[in-house]
Amino acid sequence: MEKPVETRRLSKHYGRAAAVRDLDLTVEPGEVYGFLGPNGAGKTTTLRMLLGLVRPTSGSVRVRGREPRVGGHLDGVGALVEGPAFYPYLSGRDNLRVLAHHAKVRGERVATVLETVGLTDRARDRYSAYSLGMKQRLGLAAALLKDPALLILDEPTNGLDPAGMADMRVLIRELASAGRTVLLSSHLLGEVAQICDRVGVLAHGELIAEKPVDELASGATLRVVADPVDAALTLLSSLLGNERVHRDGSAIDLDADESDAGRINNELVHAGLTVTELRWHRPDLEQTFLELTGGNSHAR
Ligand X SMILES: Nc1ncnc2c1ncn2[C@@H]1O[C@H](COP(=O)(O)OP(=O)(O)OP(=O)(O)O)[C@@H](O)[C@H]1O
CA atoms within 13 A on the CB side of 155: 17
Instruction: Choose the binding region for ligand X from 39-47, 140-148, 224-232, 242-250 (rule: CB under 6 A).
Output: 39-47
Query: What, of Mg ion, ligand X, none, does residue 283 touch, CB below 5 to 8 Å by kind?
Result: none
- Closer to Mg ion by Cβ: residue 259 or 296: 296
Q: Figure out which of the listed residues 5, 6, 36, 42 binds ligand X, where binding follows CB under 6 A.
A: 42
3-state secondary structure of 6: strand
3-state secondary structure of 143: helix
Does 101 help bind ligand X (rule: CB under 6 A)?
no
Q: Which has the closest alpha carbon to 252: 273, 272, 216, 270?
A: 273
Does 44 help bind Mg ion (rule: CB under 5 A)?
yes
64 close to 150: Cβ distance less than 8 angstroms: yes
Which residues, other chains included, contact 4 with Cβ-Cβ below 8 Å and sequence gap of 6+? 27, 28, 29, 63, 64, 149, 150, 181, 183
Q: Which has the closest alpha carbon to 135: 87, 183, 185?
A: 87
Q: Figure out which of the listed residues 29, 30, 40, 283 binds ligand X, where binding follows CB under 6 A.
A: 40
CB of 251 to ligand X, least distance (A): 38
Does 198 help bind ligand X (rule: CB under 6 A)?
no
Instruction: Choose the binding region for ligand X from 34-42, 60-68, 206-214, 220-228 (rule: CB under 6 A).
Output: 34-42
Binding site for ligand X (CB under 6 A): 14, 19, 37, 39-45, 187, 300
Binding site for Mg ion (CB under 5 A): 43-44
